[in-house]
């Protein structure tokens, strides 16, 4: 059997202004810090269970070092290494716990140029008593500070490379399923929403020939429980003097959204709720036409143009 990916794990982010990023993610978004080691800060939402879903460190500019994905079984890590190398993709072993909380990993580049790391073993650090939830099935107290999202949801990637190679790689090598996609009249896929879970997307990939570098990150997304949480988030962002896009509703994914940008790294964060889950084993990908792009982006709310969608991406290595 082929090895399998279980879920999106974490994003390794570099910031040009670490202090601003920490204030944004910890105080405004409301993530909890589990550890700080060698200048890297490790954060997670109150409903995240593993060591972290976001790491942030200081750099000369804002960019993403890599994106981590957890496999379904321990042996899947080595299984993916063998599968990748059999298909001509260099895959490097990363020593266990070199990233705090993350066991042995395999690092490689997908055809779009983005770097992925696959791992299975994780640590789940204990929570200080004053921060711990009384619920045994929840990590931290909810609503303790800031927007307070429950968990990491997905990433949205952009590339100037031939995206058809990446879609094929994601489906045939990594096991992602195409859930919805946008195509032009020639049948070329311009954007695809793919998942390994029941979510509409764990990752989206958008073809953007005009991007300044090959591999870009458009946004990372954290999940809020309902629409009222999105409205509450808008108030919190406004009280902290942040500009944002939304609230609105996407047609593609049917999710309620709000976009805000970290002033330290330039990383855009989507606060996300609603959407739908896919349980059908014979799900047929939903085909959106290029003429429907604007409608697909915004069902109602702020009108997001194609130009607005591509701005504020940051480099992803």
Q: State pLDDT tens for residues 101-140.
A: 999 999 999 999 999 999 999 999 999 999 999 999 999 9
Domain ranges of the chain: 5-119, 151-316
> E strands of the chain, at which residues?
5-15, 32-37, 40-44, 54-58, 63-71, 92-94, 105-109, 115-119, 151-159, 177-183, 189-195, 203-207, 215-223, 244-249, 255-261, 268-274, 286-289, 314-316
pTM for the full predicted model: 0.95
* pLDDT at residue 309, as a whole number: 57
pLDDT of 127: 93
CATH tag for 5-119 (out of 1.10.10.10, 3.40.50.970, 3.30.1490.20, 3.10.180.10): 3.10.180.10
Q: Is pLDDT of 304 > 60?
A: yes
DSSP 300: B
Same fold, 5-119 and 151-316: yes
Model confidence pLDDT, tens digit, residues 52-110: 999 999 999 999 999 999 999 999 999 999 999 999 999 999 999 999 999 999 999 99
Q: Give tens-digit pLDDT for 155-171.
A: 999 999 888 899 999 99
Q: Mean pLDDT over all residues of the chain?
A: 94
Asked if the 151-316 domain carries CATH number 3.10.180.10, the reply is: yes
């Amino acid at each position: 059997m082929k090895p399998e990916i279980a879920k999106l794990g974490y994003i390794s982010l570099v910031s040009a202004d670490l202090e601003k990023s920490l204030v944004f993610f910890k105080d405004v978004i409301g993530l909890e810090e589990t550890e700080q080691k060698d200048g890297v800060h490790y954060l997670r939402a109150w409903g995240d269970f593993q060591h972290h879903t976001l790491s942030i460190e200081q750099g000369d500019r804002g960019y993403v070092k890599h994106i981590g994905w957890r496999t379904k079984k321990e042996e899947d890590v080595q299984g993916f290494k063998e599968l990748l190398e059999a298909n001509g993709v260099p895959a490097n072993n990363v020593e266990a716990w070199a990233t705090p909380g993350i066991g042995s990993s395999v690092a490689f580049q997908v055809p779009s140029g983005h770097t992925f790391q696959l791992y299975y073993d994780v640590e789940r650090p204990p929570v200080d008593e004053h921060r711990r939830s009384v619920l045994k099935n929840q990590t931290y107290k909810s609503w303790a500070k800031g927007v307070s999202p429950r968990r990491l949801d997905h990433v949205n990637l952009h590339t100037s490379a031939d995206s058809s190679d990446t879609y094929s790689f994601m489906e045939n090598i990594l096991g992602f399923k195409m859930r919805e996609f946008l195509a032009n009249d020639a049948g070329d896929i311009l954007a695809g929403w793919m998942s390994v879970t029941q979510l509409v997307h764990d990752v989206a990939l958008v073809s953007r020939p005009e991007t300044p570098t090959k591999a870009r990150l458009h946004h990372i997304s954290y999940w809020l429980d309902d629409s009222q949480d999105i409205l509450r988030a808008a108030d919190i962002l406004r009280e902290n003097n942040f500009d944002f896009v939304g609230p609105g509703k996407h047609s593609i994914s049917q999710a309620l959204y709000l976009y805000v940008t970290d002033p330290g790294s330039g990383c855009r964060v989507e606060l996300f709720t609603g959407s739908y889950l896919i349980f059908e084993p014979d799900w047929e990908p939903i085909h959106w036409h290029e003429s429907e792009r604007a409608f697909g982006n915004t069902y109602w709310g702020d009108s997001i143009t194609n130009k607005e969608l591509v701005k504020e991406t940051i480099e992803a290595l």
